[in-house]
Amino acid sequence: MAYDLVYNSFSAAERKTIEEGAFKPEVDFFTKDLKSWFDLIHNHGVWACAGVGIAGIATNNKHYVDMALYGTEKNGKGGFIAQMDGLFSPDGYYTEGPYYVRYAILPYYLFANALDHAKPELKIFEHRNSILQKALLAGLQQTNTNGTFFPINDALKEKDYTSNELVTAIDIAWKVYGADKGLLTISKKQDKVLLSKGGASIAAAIATAKNIPTLYPYKTIEFTDGNKGDEGGVSLLRNGTGNKLSTLIYKYTSHGLSHGHFDKLNINLFDKGNEILTDYGSARFIGVEQKYGGRYLPENKEYASQTIAHNTIVVDESSQFNGDEKVAEKFHAEKLFSSITSDAVQVVAAKEDNAYKNVHLQRTLYMLQLPDGRKIIADIFNAVSATEHQYDLPFQYNGNLISTNFKYAAHTKAQETLGTKNGYQFLWKEAEAMVKNNLAQFTFLNNRTYYSVSSLLQDSAQLFFTRTGANDPNFNLRREPAYIIRKKGTSQSFINVVEIHGSFDPIMEYSSDAYTAVQSIKLLHNDDDITIAAIIIAGKELLIAQCNKDFKAQSKHTFKNITWTGPYTVLYNETRLQ
């Protein structure tokens, strides 16, 4: 904070004047007037503790430092140590999401760096098995290939790892934890360093290194949530290399405090650096005074955080937990099983039993690479209830609609909203269709790649094409499209296949592999114990058999002529994918 640099040049009387006249009122404001906020386990509390603690170090005030470390009562229920213990899972996932670990990482690393010099006996950078290192690396894994943080919970999509917070954290981490090739890649893109030992060391490494990778070393990875790692988590399933990397995000976390969204069992897809199945992120124009002073807009609570703004089931047009943050904070989704070691088959299953009263939600995602190179995402989403409900499953997509295999009525003369509350009031109903006992397919184009969603519709379903912007007189929302599948009944199964296929060349004016290869989807069996689906792709059968209750790796299962061991099996052309 610079005061420590001139500290010895002041007389004792001058220091007293400065410290009691400038620093004390600020510290008192934080620790007395805003006592409960200071002790709150939240990113705001991290900033407050770091500010008071660094002021204490600079002024040799042990009282300030102890409050910063252990809370205003110095009992460990608040303060910096509690922030390190409470906001991160054991593997470094930050409960508010990657966008906010980007924000909080600055005070975490600045104060830890100051403590490392002033109180080395704390070994603060080793705390919780080097939790700050894990937090930094976990945050970087949760970025797109262009450096932007995945828009989990409240997030501005423009923020990336070149921000000042990451410059500071990476330079300090390099000094504390040692050289890291991945960090070198990020630092080169940041194109600036701190005037510090770590910064100078990174600059020297960049100057002498040869062939620094252009992309961070992304990998398929899973993170737990909760400070004990027992409150769900998030899976990042990746396939491909370099600029052809695909990332499927499956979120089954806790709520995420005040910045959390009502989106249990939500998915997002990134491909070739582009966001394909999207998350709205946050409704905010940070730094733009004309837009609500740059603060979060009312639409952030009214739309962006609501369930319909995501890619997960909405029951009866109401948001999960009725949109009540206090209730949502009491619960988390639960991972049932996963297998992520094979490029051919990556699978994760999770459930949610508390978001809607007496409704069981269970979703299993398969990210598959077929022998012919096709990338397929098979999505089996079961909603189970003893009473009748309306189930909406949105696919928020980024691109231009190219074609459908069903006829729809486009509302070109007059449009209505899809609903009246819980985010539905912001959606224009642009087109709709009623489909019975059929395979519904729609294809859209993003940049130069085609994407198709194929959906099994047993009995009947309504399909909607919507766009944000209704009831938005101040134009606070981006105009973004969605494709929504609506089913009604007691229990419903949503079997969907997402394909990444083909290419479009606007220069040479041609397309290749522009049509979906999915020819049929059949649900061969579905009950509380087993789900079996058969998908015909380019004339070959992809068969998925999964357990819905028994997830033990050694359990053997048989259904008719299908036999497998463990919670699932995937067969392609009668050969097991593995």
Catalytic one among 64, 100, 108, 218?
A: 100
pLDDT at 19: 92
Please answer whether residues 24 and 17 qualify as being in contact, where contact means their C-beta atoms are separated by less than 8 angstroms: no
**Domain assignment of residue 234, yes or no:** yes
Please answer whether residues 467 and 482 qualify as being in contact, where contact means their C-beta atoms are separated by less than 8 angstroms: yes
81: nearest Cα among 114, 58, 111: 111
**Domain assignment of residue 210, yes or no:** no
My answer on whether 107 and 226 are in the same domain is no
My answer on whether 146 and 234 are in the same domain is no
Which of 159, 183, 203 corresponds to the end of one domain? 159
Please answer whether residues 313 and 265 qualify as being in contact, where contact means their C-beta atoms are separated by less than 8 angstroms: yes
pLDDT at 427: 98
Please answer whether residues 234 and 93 qualify as being in contact, where contact means their C-beta atoms are separated by less than 8 angstroms: yes
**Domain assignment of residue 428, yes or no:** yes
pLDDT at 1: 58
pLDDT at 466: 98
The identity of residue 452, as a single letter, is S
The yes-or-no answer on residue 572 being catalytic is: no
| Full domain range(s) for residue 240 | 221-576
* Whole-structure pTM value: 0.96
Distances (CA, A) of 553 to 334, 421, 544: 18, 44, 16
pLDDT at 578: 84
**Domain assignment of residue 351, yes or no:** yes
Mean pLDDT of the chain: 96
**Domain assignment of residue 342, yes or no:** yes
My answer on whether 227 and 134 are in the same domain is no
Which of 116, 133, 159 corresponds to the end of one domain? 159
87: nearest Cα among 50, 121, 131: 131
Which of 133, 159, 185 corresponds to the end of one domain? 159
Instruction: Report whether pLDDT(259) > 80.
Output: yes
What integer is the mean pLDDT of 69-85?
A: 97
As given in the structure block, the two tokens for residue 121 are 């006996």
The identity of residue 364, as a single letter, is T
My answer on whether 152 and 230 are in the same domain is no
Catalytic one among 42, 259, 360, 557?
A: 259
Q: What angle do CA 140, 212, 202 make, to 5 degrees?
A: 70
pLDDT at 459: 87
Return the CATH number at 92: 1.50.10.100
Query: pLDDT class for 545, splitting at 50, 70, 90?
Result: very high
- Structural domains of the chain, count: 2
My answer on whether 419 and 318 are in the same domain is yes
295-302: list long-range contacts, CB under 8 Å, 24+ apart: 296/154, 297/476, 298/476, 299/426, 299/472, 299/476, 299/477, 300/154, 302/423, 302/426
Please answer whether residues 389 and 489 qualify as being in contact, where contact means their C-beta atoms are separated by less than 8 angstroms: yes
What integer is the mean pLDDT of 164-183?
A: 96
My answer on whether 145 and 227 are in the same domain is no
Return the CATH number at 393: 2.70.98.70
322-377 pLDDT, tens per residue? 999 999 999 999 999 999 999 999 999 999 999 999 999 999 999 999 999 999 99
My answer on whether 132 and 228 are in the same domain is no
* Contacts for 398 with CB less than 8 Å, ≥ 6 apart: 274, 275, 276, 277, 278, 446, 480
Strand 510-512 with 503-505, pairing = antiparallel
Strand partners, 488: 390
**Domain assignment of residue 212, yes or no:** no
My answer on whether 103 and 245 are in the same domain is no
My answer on whether 234 and 135 are in the same domain is no
DSSP tally for the chain: helices H, then strands E: 14, 27
**Domain assignment of residue 195, yes or no:** no
* Contacts for 415 with CB less than 8 Å, ≥ 6 apart: 428, 429, 430, 470
My answer on whether 375 and 298 are in the same domain is yes
Q: What angle do CA 380, 382, 383 make, to 5 degrees?
A: 155
Please answer whether residues 443 and 515 qualify as being in contact, where contact means their C-beta atoms are separated by less than 8 angstroms: yes
My answer on whether 49 and 142 are in the same domain is yes
What percent of the chain has a predicted confidence (pLDDT) above 70? 100
**Domain assignment of residue 414, yes or no:** yes
The yes-or-no answer on residue 255 being catalytic is: no
My answer on whether 127 and 276 are in the same domain is no
Distance separating alpha carbons of residues 203 and 175, to the nearest angstrom: 12
Distance separating alpha carbons of residues 459 and 489, to the nearest angstrom: 10
